[in-house]
Structure 1
Amino acid sequence: MSLKILIFVCGEGLGHTGRCLAAGRELSRAGHEVTCGAYGYSSQFLAEHGMNVREVPAEIRLVGEKGSLNLGKSIKESIKLGQVPGLFNVQKLVDEEKPDVILSDSYYLGTIAALRRKIPVALMVNQSNMEIFFQENYLFQGLGVIAKEFYNGIFKRVDRTIIPDYPQPNTICDLNLNFEDDSTSKVEYTGPLPARNYGDVIAQNLPRPHVLSLIGGFGYRAPIFRRIIEAASMDSNINYTLLSGPGLDKEELPPLPDNAELLPFIPDQFPYLKSCDLAIAPGGHTTMMEALAYGVPMLSFPDRGHSEQQNNAEGLEAKGCGKQMDYKASASEILESVREAVNGKYRDKTEQMKKLAGEINGPEKLRKILEDLAYQRL
């Protein structure tokens, strides 16, 4: 039986977008009618990849300075967005679409709209202790208490809470999860949700061993980017593909060694991921899940002051799948960590994680969860 499914996407970073694309593709392949509610570059990205998209208001706006999350400015900017009109617009979309079930990826306006209309809803998150953003700044600790009450109230009311991570004991984002006892029965782990299945991807023809750097060369990450180039120049036996982002002036960078290629943009990173021996990236959860689903270890440089990314990186290292790196790491320290990784330090564990991801089949598991919720209602 074909279902109407509405997916709401948090547009703060493409991690949410990538895993929602995986969910949308799987649901569409199964014959369901899928609509995505998204905003900003997220809506553009989904539309370019063939999804039916409806524009929704931004729910939160994250503001950072010099590599750190600025909580005060983030709160002010989010307040400016105006949540009451936003909820009205989202509710209108739900009423127009009349979905059988809703998947909301960290987009709480969509979750509230579903609860108000008594539509089955699954909330997808990789962090349930968001109050720590406030607790780390004494000026906003009172808001942290309010945030905790709000999120815990939501977790109690939704039909399912989806964690797009490996089940215990292999959960990478474990340090970011904290559910009250009466919410735990609704929590389900789907495993990774890569936008492209490993078996469907043709590997890029790259010289081995090969390192894929996703750090980028802008702003506060520029010094790390330069030190990675320096590390590449110190060992010509290890090859690198460096993604810089469009618009970076190559003249501002140190000379590239012959074993490193600089690319401003790759429309599809999965062929490169399938062919590399190591990824270097910040601390985003989805990037980690994609790498591990492909059996690739990671050196993670989490953003400073971003506790969620730092916890992800700590979990990555604790599970033996890579290493948490510091922004102050020298080129020699980076090279030492790269050598360890390409020489197989994490290979056994990441191969296990790749195999486990294939066995779980995250997109299929998520589809079945949503189908069960909808069919129970019909």
Structure 2
Amino acid sequence: MKVMIFVCGEGLGHTSRCISIGKELVSAGHDVHFGAYGYSRELIERKGFKTHMVPSEITLVGKAGSLNLKKSILATFKRGQFLGIIKIRKFLKRTKPDVVISDSYFMGMLSAKSRSIPCYLIVNQSNMEEFFKGKGVSSKILAELVKKFYTGMFKMADKVIIPDFPLPHAVCRKNLDFKEKTWKKVFFSGPLIGKTFEETIAKELEKPHVLCTVGGFGYREPIFRKVIEAAGMDKSINYTLLSGPSVDPASLGTLPENVTILKFIDDQFPYMKASDLVIAPGGHSTMMEALSFGVPMITVPDQKHSEQQNNALVIEEDGLGKMLDYSTSPDVILENIRVLIDDEKYKKKLTEMRELAVELNGPGAVRLLVEEMEN
């Protein structure tokens, strides 16, 4: 079977989960192709997959840690990016896939349906209109248009795949709002992550260990520096912090001896397996990775980002970690780190989530779904 996977390149979470599906399908003997753009395309190519350049679908606009979806949509229309659907239709006519999997790349799904190709849509949010709440009359009108667009996409898809634990455990559940007919074709695959716990060899790190992926650039720099300050208050806990390629670790001054700063790591799974805690923003994919490895989280969601805020709330409500914000003091950060590392109830809960992720086998579940539907 020939499978085309279209990837939304705005955020590498989409890319990593599609790579996990691609690996599974290739291992089962299927002919897998990717349609991607930007850094996402480069990453997929480095993994050795057949990759094709496709037009980007949306231009993200925002500042100071806040996504402005209204301006993003207007900028996208202004650049004429949605006209790329013509290119995608011609591309599908040339490549002739048997099935299309589209991770939040709606031009791919529209093009597939226009050519009567079965299409599976991957999303972890269906309430994008939340971005527009309380932002004036024009935003309210735009919110209704966005909602109608998404509703149409969900109606058109053959299956809507949610890359999360099934209800009631789904971390993204506060971001899901489907009509009754759509719920009937919703499929909770389980986490889709790049590496499983079993196949990962843990990095040799001093224990207990905290992995912080917040990054030290732009609006996230204050919380990054507060984590470093918290580390200096208790030298018995060790830290690996990812600063990002735009930050020179030398600019951070003298670091506590229990802190290691890395700009970037190609494979963070060995670090995650060796860690007792992960500090990260509220991105869905990182949460799926941490839970699949049985590691509790401190989440620091981006400001005014309703999806991340909702994800972080579920992490705290379900006893899987703590939700903090950019105003949190180093003392409170350290207090929460100690609780999550030492409290046995968190360890028990996270072990259950790791075992559930293994049982679900997300990539395998998606492969079986596609194979069954194709047959």
Fold match by TM threshold 0.5: yes
**Cα pair 1:226 1:254 within 8 Å, conserved:** no
Q: Tell me, yes or no, if structure 1 residue 357 matches structure 2 residue 357.
A: yes
- AA in 2 matched with 1:163: I
Return the alpha-carbon distance in structure 1 between the equivalents of residues 34 and 283 of structure 2: 22
Change over 3 Å in CA distance of 1:195–1:94 after alignment to 2: same
Return the alpha-carbon distance in structure 2 between the equivalents of residues 283 and 258 of structure 1: 28
**Cα pair 1:37 1:54 within 8 Å, conserved:** yes
- AA in 2 matched with 1:75: I
Identical positions, percent: 51
Matched position secondary structure for 2:20: helix
Return the alpha-carbon distance in structure 2 between the equivalents of residues 303 and 355 of structure 1: 29
Matched position secondary structure for 2:205: coil
**Cα pair 1:231 1:331 within 8 Å, conserved:** yes
- AA in 1 matched with 2:295: V
Aligned to 1:374: 374
**Cα pair 2:163 2:189 within 8 Å, conserved:** yes
- AA in 2 matched with 1:365: A
CA deviations 1:4-62 (Å, max 9, x no partner) are: 00000000000000000001011011110000111111000110111111111111122
Say which is worse superposed, 74-83 or 34-43, in terms of deviation.
Answer: 74-83
Say which is worse superposed, 122-131 or 345-354, in terms of deviation.
Answer: 345-354
Return the alpha-carbon distance in structure 1 between the equivalents of residues 68 and 81 of structure 2: 20
Q: Tell me, yes or no, if structure 1 residue 343 matches structure 2 residue 349.
A: no
CA deviations 1:278-333 (Å, max 9, x no partner) are: 00000000000011000011100000011001011011111111111111000001
CA-CA distance at 1:355 after TM superposition:
0.2
TM superposition score normalised by structure 2: 0.97
Aligned to 1:70: 68
Q: Tell me, yes or no, if structure 1 residue 246 matches structure 2 residue 234.
A: no
Aligned to 1:17: 15
- AA in 1 matched with 2:139: F
Matched position secondary structure for 1:199: coil
Return the alpha-carbon distance in structure 1 between the equivalents of residues 68 and 152 of structure 2: 26
Matched position secondary structure for 1:240: strand
Q: Tell me, yes or no, if structure 1 residue 294 matches structure 2 residue 279.
A: no
Q: Determine which of 44, 49, 52 is the counterpart of 1:51.
A: 49
Return the alpha-carbon distance in structure 1 between the equivalents of residues 233 and 308 of structure 2: 29
What are structure 1's unaligned runs of at least 5 residues? none
CA-CA distance at 1:84 after TM superposition:
4.6
Return the alpha-carbon distance in structure 1 between the equivalents of residues 76 and 347 of structure 2: 42
- AA in 2 matched with 1:147: V
CA deviations 1:114-142 (Å, max 9, x no partner) are: 11111111100000111112234223110
What are structure 2's unaligned runs of at least 5 residues? none
Matched position secondary structure for 2:152: helix
Aligned to 2:191: 192
**Cα pair 1:36 1:53 within 8 Å, conserved:** yes
**Cα pair 1:59 1:81 within 8 Å, conserved:** no
Return the alpha-carbon distance in structure 2 between the equivalents of residues 162 and 227 of structure 1: 37
Aligned to 1:224: 223
The structure 1 segments of at least 4 consecutive aligned residues displaced by more than 6 Å after TM superposition are none
**Cα pair 2:9 2:36 within 8 Å, conserved:** yes
**Cα pair 1:212 1:273 within 8 Å, conserved:** yes
- AA in 1 matched with 2:142: L
Q: Tell me, yes or no, if structure 1 residue 131 matches structure 2 residue 129.
A: yes
**Cα pair 1:229 1:254 within 8 Å, conserved:** no
CA deviations 1:83-121 (Å, max 9, x no partner) are: 453001111111111111110000100010111111111
**Cα pair 2:231 2:259 within 8 Å, conserved:** yes
Q: Tell me, yes or no, if structure 1 residue 98 matches structure 2 residue 96.
A: yes
CA deviations 1:221-248 (Å, max 9, x no partner) are: 0000000000000000100000111231
CA deviations 1:249-284 (Å, max 9, x no partner) are: 223314211111011111100000111000000000
- AA in 2 matched with 1:90: I
- AA in 2 matched with 1:359: E
Task: Tell me how large the CA RMSD over aligned residues is.
Answer: 1.1
Return the alpha-carbon distance in structure 1 between the equivalents of residues 78 and 16 of structure 2: 27
**Cα pair 1:36 1:54 within 8 Å, conserved:** yes
TM superposition score normalised by structure 1: 0.97
* Equivalences for residues 269-348 of structure 1 within 5 A: 269-344=268-343, 345-348=345-348
* Equivalences for residues 133-152 of structure 1 within 5 A: 133-138=131-136, 139-152=138-151
Aligned to 1:165: 164
Matched position secondary structure for 2:184: helix
**Cα pair 1:101 1:373 within 8 Å, conserved:** no
